[in-house]
Amino acid sequence: MQTVAPAAAFRPFAGGLLALVLLAGCNARSEPPQFRLNMQDYLEMIPSHDPAEFRIARGEEPDVLEEKQRKIKGLEMISTVLFAAFGTPDDPYLLNEVQKGDDNENGLDLVAIERAAGPVRPGHDRSSRQRGLYRLHCAHCHGISGDGAGPTAVFLNPYPRDYRQGMFKFKSTSFTAKPTTADLKRIILEGIPGTAMPSFALLPNDEVDALVEYVKYLSIRGQTELNMAIVLLSDESEIELDRTAILDEYLMPVLEQWTAAEDAVIQPPERPATDTPQQLAASIEAGRKLFLSKDAQCAQCHGPTGLGDGWLTDTTAVPYDDWNKQKSPDDIDRWLLPRQELRPRNLRLGIYRGGRRPVDLYRRIHAGIQAAQMPGAGPGQGSEATLTPEQIWHLVDYVRSLPYADESQPKHTEITLHKPRN
């Protein structure tokens, strides 16, 4: 009997220890998060390479081994350069040439980036500022590295944007150009209807600005990495660890693209008058004819009725965007996120991902949608315009009228109130 008591008394202690280890142990020992190397894209973009090229097995032939060692060494170099030029998620860094300053107004704002980076640290009172904004609001979908593969990403359709290729769909600029700062800000403020991207309209202005800057930072970092990977894996030459070479060859070209975005904004010319119902009806009718025409070819994908079912008639269509189209279905384990199909938009729902203003729709038709299958109809990319601005405006009017056409919706019923029973 005497021996039972100490054991019984000890048991809660052991249980407490268990709880203590589980709760405190991990936090105390876990490392700060790191950026993930963009292996997925190296492999997708350069299909002749596969993951085995980065693993050394026993008994390999000397020339194969040498090649593999060269590549692994190259990855270490990429890792070193990225660390040198961008720091870590907790401690972002920018080389002077990339930093915004008095003499360099095109650079990135390191103060804003630092605010958005790092672990979530609330301000002590209302006046001091919230830090770690990216992890608070964005990282669970877009991932620490901005790879669009955060913990919740796999449940979403479409997937969250992977910033690292520097491709963005909804912007005011031309097909190949980067979005402007205002474009990114607009997406954060208004969200993207029809996707899982919610609106952050009520965040303070400076927090939104910090997040925009951080998204740019992640995107520039990702594209710099890809530029190096192309040289390493595709051109098969060395990454030089020379500051000037790094800046000139890999980093500055990307930053310049972002700077150039402000000049690539598409400003639609004056819209033809649609003040009277007759004018509007005429414009809509002209747009309908264009929609079905062989010139604009809208109906091929969006369907003759705009339901987004044009592709359905076609079993050979490969409806994937640039993030998904390289993923082969028989090698599914290679990717964090399985391949997801791209669908032409159903234009009768009245849900516009890139904004519902006429100017937004004009830009979609004019520039197309980068990385998706939507081609641009306006002039650009050295081509003459397929459609005149006036024709694009007719199409805008037609597309805008579709959700409200009689056949689009069951008759809109206004809510009826409960009948009071007394």
Partner 1 sequence: MRKPRPAFPKGMGKAPGAWRKSVGKFWSVLFLLVPVLGVALFWWAPGAGYWLPRDISRHGHQIDHLFYFVLVLTGVVFVATEGVLFWFLWRYDSATNRDPATYMHGSHNLEVIWTILPAAILLFIAIYQMNAWADVKMRAPPGMRPTVEVTARQFEWRLRYPGPDNRFGTLDDIHHVNDLHVPVDTDILVDLKSMDVLHDFFLPHLRIKQDAVPGMNIPVWFRATEIGTYDLVCAELCGWGHYKMKGRLTVESREAYGKWLADMYAAQQATQDPQAAEDR
Partner 2 sequence: MHYRWTIAAAVLAGICGCGRSVVSDPAPDEKLAEAIRKAQSGDSEAEAEAETAVATVTEWGSLTGRFVFDGQPPTPAPLAITRDEPVCGRHNLVDESLVVGPDGGLANVVVFVNTRNVPVHPDYEATANDKVTFDNEHCRFEPHILALRTSQTLVVHNSDPVSHNSNMTPLGDAPINPLLSEKGAAEHQFKRSQNAPVPVTCSIHPWMKGYVFPRDNPYVAVTDDQGRFTIENLPAADLEFQVWQERPGPLVAKPEWKRGRFKFKIAPGDNDLGEIQVSPDLLN
For binding to partner 1 (CB under 8 A), which residues are involved? 1-2, 4-5, 9, 137, 140, 152, 172, 182, 190-191, 193, 196, 198-199, 201-202, 265, 267-268, 270-271, 356-359, 362, 400-401, 404, 409, 412-418, 420-422
Which of the listed partners (partner 2, partner 1, none) does 271 bind, with a CB threshold of 5 to 8 Å by partner kind?
Answer: partner 1
235 binds, among partner 1, partner 2, none (CB under 5 to 8 A by kind): partner 2
Q: Which of 66, 263, 295, 331 binds partner 2 (CB under 8 A)?
A: 295
Task: Specify the DSSP class assigned to residue 46.
Answer: S
Residue 11 in the binding site for partner 2 (CB under 8 A): yes
Residue 80 Cα distances to 24, 246, 250, angstroms: 32, 11, 14
By the rule CB under 8 A, 247 interacts with partner 2: yes
Would you count residue 297 as binding partner 2 (CB under 8 A)? yes
Cα distances (Å, whole numbers) of residue 53 to 114, 227, 355: 36, 19, 44
Tally of CA atoms within 13 A in the half-sphere of 113 that contains its CB = 25
Q: Pick the piece of the chain touching partner 2 (CB under 8 A) from 78-86, 102-110, 187-195, 392-400.
A: 78-86
Going by C-alpha positions, the residue among 110, 319, 87, 102 that lies closest to residue 224 is 87
Residue of 227, 274, 346, 401 that binds partner 2 (CB under 8 A): 227
AA letter at 385 = A
**What does 50 interact with, of partner 2, partner 1, none (CB < 5 to 8 A by kind)?**
none
56 to 75: interface string for partner 2, x by CB under 8 A:
-------x--------x--x
- Report how far apart, in Å, the C-alpha atoms of 265 and of each of 36, 53, 389 are: 33, 42, 15
340 binds partner 2 (CB under 8 A): no
Interface with partner 2 (CB under 8 A), residue from 48, 276, 278, 422: 48
DSSP letters, 132-194, are -HHHHHTHHHH-TTSSS--TTGGG-SSPPP-GGG---SS-SB-TTSPPPHHHHHHHHHH--TT
Six-digit token pair at 223? 């594209």
Contact of residue 377 among partner 2, partner 1, none (CB under 5-8 Å per partner type): partner 2
